[in-house]
Amino acid sequence: MSDNKGKMGESLKEKTTPKNFKKNPIKGTKFTVMVSSAKGGVGKSTFAINLTFALQKLGKKVGLLDADIHGPSLPKMIGLNEKPKSDGKLLFPLEKYGAQFMSLGFLVDEKTPMIWRGPMVISAIKTLTEKVSWKDLDFLIIDMPPGTGDTQLTFAQDVKIDGAIIISTPQELALMDVQRGIQMFDKTKIKIIGLVDNMSFFKGEDGKKYNIFGEGGVEKTAKQFDKKFLGQVPISTSLRESADLGLPLTYKEPDHEISKIFSDIANKIMQDVV
């Protein structure tokens, strides 16, 4: 752990965006929002895809870029496994349910492990950020790889980002990583729109809330670092099943109580970014 911290500190010092550094906006979209988590498995991709359709429900044209190059989960979550078309220069995103999607998972065989070295990672990111022909989007959501390493810094340096959302679960261990995430965005001058507490509780059949992973930690961390708290997404079988079936809950059942939580968060994001 301390080793990791040291490494991040060093690479941040070297790579923190210099003043006046010109970042390129992603073509074809008005606003670009990152969904990130300092730790894997906290529900970042589930959040990103459900946010996509929550924003769409609010009348926006939305695209989702799965930048989780080591473990792309978008093809499964949206039930797509076609190869995107290309004109030799640009890649065309796949479309489903009215939204646009791009993932390295569409380009590489599902069973191929993505074990890439630094320069390959950087070139894959460049392809995803510079060579995709998004069409008239209001929002591009980027599902980031977990962590605070080189991949994240490459994005932070090269691409104009309008804001970032940090997803966490409430365990102490996850919260320590959240602090590192906050520091990374602050140092790379990317605005943090706010923090989301995922899998924050489970509501039993008796109507009682069970705080399986602890209570209130993400909100407390947000306060401590003077960031906005965007809301709590409970542990939900519907959310998990819909992700497994490739039919996101906010698209399939926009009036579901969980979808309403996503709408509420999407509204807060719009107010902050637009």
- Pick from 32, 36, 52, 73 the residue near ligand ADP by CB under 6 A: 73
The reply on whether position 44 binds ligand ADP by CB under 6 A is: yes
Q: Exposed (0-12), middle (13-18) or buried (19+): which is 246, by Cβ within 10 Å?
A: middle
**Residue 51 Cβ vs ligand ADP, minimum distance, rounded to whole Å:** 11
Candidates 19-27, 114-122, 231-239, 261-269: pick the segment binding ligand ADP (CB under 6 A).
231-239
- Pick from 29, 32, 36, 46 the residue near ligand ADP by CB under 6 A: 46
Q: Exposed (0-12), middle (13-18) or buried (19+): which is 101, by Cβ within 10 Å?
A: buried
Q: How far apart are CA 249 and CA 265, in angstroms?
A: 15
**Residue 237 Cβ vs ligand ADP, minimum distance, rounded to whole Å:** 7
Q: Give the helix/strand (H/E) hosting 213.
A: none
- Pick from 99, 222, 243, 261 the residue near ligand ADP by CB under 6 A: 243
Full strand arrangement of the beta sheet holding 99-103: 94-96, 99-103, 62-66, 137-143, 29-36, 163-168, 192-198, 229-233
Please name every residue paired with 18 in a beta bridge, in sequence order, or none if there are none: none
Candidates 33-41, 114-122, 175-183, 208-216: pick the segment binding ligand ADP (CB under 6 A).
33-41
The reply on whether position 62 binds ligand ADP by CB under 6 A is: no
The reply on whether position 166 binds ligand ADP by CB under 6 A is: no
Number of H-type helices and E-type strands within the chain: 11, 10
The reply on whether position 52 binds ligand ADP by CB under 6 A is: no
Dihedral of CA atoms 79, 142, 150, 156 in degrees, nearest 10, equals 170
- Pick from 37, 52, 152, 263 the residue near ligand ADP by CB under 6 A: 37
The reply on whether position 149 binds ligand ADP by CB under 6 A is: no
The reply on whether position 141 binds ligand ADP by CB under 6 A is: no
**Mask of contacts with ligand ADP, 83-122, x by CB under 6 A?**
----------------------------------------
How many residues are listed for the chain in this entry? 274
Q: Give the helix/strand (H/E) hosting 76.
A: helix 74-78
Contacts to ligand ADP by CB under 6 A: 37, 40-46, 73, 198-199, 233, 235-236, 239-240, 243
